[in-house]
A and B are shown apart, each in its own frame.
Chain A
Amino acid sequence: MTPFAVTGALLVALGLYGLIAGRALLRRIIAFNVMGSGVFLMLGALGWHEGRADPVPQALIITGIVVALSGSALAVGLVVALARATGRQHLRDDVG
């Protein structure tokens, strides 16, 4: 199961980079989902013992997917509201 876990870790790194360094808001939401998929892949791969799947990580993944979906939905809703109100699809960097 190591290839899956390694792929998961790579997806986490890619997603994290996009989430932090990205500017377009929609792109950052997608990066969040890439990172989330990486975590779920890791969870699934690490829950594989001697040819048998451990059910606990699978339950965690399902819960995690629901949570990530809700987070994405809220994020997309806020981005749409921001674009309608201001026409912007970026966050300005004037607050620190």
Chain B
Amino acid sequence: MIALATLLILPIFGALAVVAVPGQAARVAAAVAVLSGGALAVLIMAVAKGGSVQILPGGWGAPLGIALEADGLAVAFMAMTVAVTAAAIALAARTPAIGTPFWALVMLTWSALNVIYVSRDLFNMYVGLELLTLAAVALVATGGTSALAPALRYLFFALTGSLLYLAGVALIYAAHGVLDMAHLAEAPLQATDGVALALMTAGLLVKTAVFPFHAWLPPAHAAAPPPASALLSALVPKASFVILMRLWFDAVPDAATRSLLLTLAILGALAVAHGGVLALRQDRLKQIVAYSTVAQIGYLMLVFPLAGGGGAAQPWAAGAWSGAIFHALAHGLAKAAMFLCAGIWIMAAGSDRLDDLRGLARALPMTAMAFGVAAVTLMGLPPSGGFTAKYLMMTSAFASGQVVLAIVLLAGGLLAAGYLYRPMEALFARVVPDHRPVSRLLQAVPLLLALLAFAMGLFSDAVYAFLQTGRPGAAEGGL
């Protein structure tokens, strides 16, 4: 399928082209974004009509070759990635401090994300994760001298995570002799699988910045330039989350034990509480938004307990699975919009301290509106995409009798309302701000992203139906 191959290859060629002609970096990136958008439209039509699209590189199928498969989940994440990256590129083209390395790294990050979304091979996923880590850490480091320490901290966490994951992959291969997920799903479980899966899950939790492995995320995301933070917060943790979902739902659904589900439930709940409370205590907008990511990642972990528990047939599991993906997508769009808003305010006011943002809503109303709409999604208020996500997850929490998890979801929404109220209060303060003007076209960029997150709720039935293409059986049968 040419559209899928185009989406995978274009960003890599874009990264090489930027190195060749650094003067035209922004134009190359814009061209890659436009062409990817076209290829994505073709791919969406193909998947909606004919189901998952597969590529067998070299004509070799699994287990000898590496199969790439674009199902509903993969294409939805690719679409979110195109939207977020295009928006970040648009803002970066007008940000003065952005240099050539940024453009090449954005496109490397992008290609790594696409590879991870369509991979079904455990080792191919490892290579994708490593490419993503190296590009993402370097993106943080483009933030200048003050970003070096956060970038290093991020790198050490990420390298530890990937080696833990790789050690698990080694044990899986030793026990089963396959790395392809479909083949793994058919193989009977072995005695060493418990250790292997624990190592892989721990590694992926580090990469996803799940509590208590989140310490690297807020400093790294706050230190990077705003267009880079948008990518880092909206997309990068989602890649390892997609692998985690595919691992437990596609590859080894029968291996999930009660203690695993309980552990992930506790870590998720603690992440929601810890991230939310720390976000309340920050004085810089980018820090608030970064701690909010820690909290929002906590929700994603709740998919595992929500899809588990109970007997054999679990009608609520499908709701939990779709709800978590809805949440990952809506959060990605809304969070990117918020970081881009922060970028615009830094252009206008020179800083992202809440005190310096006072009254900016009057000067830049479109950006304030974008932040507000994105906040509605993060809080999970109707009719945004965040609401659909929470609705699906809450329904399955009640249906599966796990009321505690519903309370976590509600409390997280209240905390989000709390930490997002403080920047809003500053923005709408009745003072006349001292600021530089920002063009309306640029202000429209985060607004479009925030409206997309909102539209996910309005057209949730279409998105929901699309996500079901190629849904794993365990999303219905439960873990």
On chain B, the residues within 8 Å of A57 by CB distance are 170, 173
| Cβ < 8 Å to B, chain A residues 24-69 | 25, 28, 32, 35-36, 39, 42-43, 46-47, 54, 56-57, 60, 63-64, 67
A78 contacts B170, CB within 8 Å? no
- Which residues does chain A contribute within 8 Å of B218, judged by CB atoms? 95
Closest chain-B Cβ to A89's Cβ sits at a distance in Å of 11
Please count how many residues in chain A sit with their CB below 8 Å of the partner chain's CB atoms. Answer: 37
Find A63's partner among B127, B152, B163 (CB 8 Å cutoff): B127
Are A39's CB and B166's CB within 8 A? yes
Binds A, one of B81-89, B141-149, B456-464: B141-149
Instruction: Identify B219's interface contact among A20, A75, A95, CB under 8 A.
Output: A95
Contacts of B133 in A (CB 8 A): 71
Q: Is the CB of B141 within 8 A of A78?
A: yes
Complex: how many Å from CA A91 to CA B152?
A: 8
- Please tell me if the beta carbons of B152 and A25 are within 8 angstroms of each other in the complex: yes
- Mask of B110-133 contacts with A, CB within 8 angstroms, 1/0: 000000000000010011001001
Q: Known interface pairs A43-B170, A46-B171. Does A74 touch B160 (Cβ–Cβ under 8 Å)?
A: no
The minimal Cβ–Cβ distance linking A48 to chain B, given in whole angstroms, is 10
Residues of A within 8 A of B138 (CB): 74
Given A70-B134, A74-B134, A95-B153, also A39-B163 (CB < 8 A): yes
Q: Which residue of B lies closest to A90 (CB)?
A: B149
B137 interfacial by beta-carbon distance below 8 Å: yes
Residues of chain B in range 202-224 having any CB-CB distance to chain A below 8 Å: 215, 218-219
The residue of chain A having its C-beta at the shortest distance from the C-beta of B151 within the complex is: A78
> Is A6 part of the contact surface with B, judged by Cβ < 8 Å?
no
Please report the C-alpha to C-alpha distance between residue A96 and residue B429 in the assembled complex, in whole angstroms: 31
Does A75 lie within 8 Å of B160, measured CB to CB? Answer: no
> Smallest CB–CB gap between B183 and chain A, Å?
13
User: B361-403 CB contact bits vs A (8 Å, 1 = yes)?
Assistant: 0000000000000000000000000000000000000000000
CB distance from B468 to the nearest CB of A (A): 34
**A10-30 with Cβ < 8 A to chain B:** 12, 15-16, 19-20, 25, 28
Q: Are A32 and B159 in contact (CB under 8 A)?
A: yes
Chain B residues in 8 Å Cβ range of A16: 160, 163-164
Q: In whole angstroms, how far apart are the Cα atoms of A90 and B263 in the complex? A: 33
**Cβ of B155 < 8 Å from any Cβ of A?**
yes
Contact B163 A35 (CB under 8 A): yes
Check: B167 CB closer than 8 A to any chain A CB. yes
Q: How far is the CA of A22 from the CA of B153 in the complex (A)?
A: 12
Q: In the docked arrangement, what's the CA distance between A11 and B467, Å?
A: 43
Is B123 in contact with A63, judged by CB distance below 8 angstroms?
yes
Is the beta-carbon distance between B145 and A86 smaller than 8 angstroms? Answer: yes
* B150 contacts partner chain A, Cβ-Cβ < 8 Å: yes
Q: A96 to B215, alpha carbons, bound, how many Å? A: 5
**Minimum CB distance partner of B144 in chain A:** A85
Question: Are A46 and B173 within 8 A (Cβ)?
Answer: yes
Give chain A residues whose Cβ lies under 8 Å from the Cβ of B170: 39, 42-43, 46, 57, 60
Q: Is the CB of A74 within 8 A of B167?
A: no
Asked if B156 lies at the interface with its beta carbon under 8 angstroms from chain A, I say yes
B179-194 interface bits toward A, Cβ cutoff 8 Å, 1 = contact, 0 = none? 1000000000000000
Q: Which residues of B contact A15 (CB under 8 A)?
A: 163
Q: Which residue of A lies closest to B219 (CB)?
A: A95
In the bound assembly, the distance between CA atoms of A93 and B377 in angstroms comes to: 34
Q: Please judge, given known A-B contacts A19-B160, A46-B171, whether A81 and B148 are in contact too, CB under 8 Å.
A: yes
Query: What are 13 sample pairs from A and B whose C-beta atoms fall under 8 A apart?
Result: A25-B152, A36-B163, A43-B173, A47-B173, A64-B166, A70-B134, A74-B134, A78-B141, A78-B155, A86-B148, A91-B152, A95-B150, A95-B219
| Other A-B pairs beyond A63-B127, A74-B137, A95-B218, 18, CB < 8 Å | A28-B156, A35-B160, A39-B163, A42-B170, A46-B170, A47-B174, A54-B177, A57-B173, A60-B123, A64-B166, A71-B130, A71-B133, A78-B148, A78-B152, A82-B148, A85-B145, A88-B149, A95-B153
The 7 A-B residue pairs whose C-beta atoms are closest, nearest first, are: A46-B174, A82-B148, A85-B145, A43-B170, A67-B130, A95-B219, A78-B152
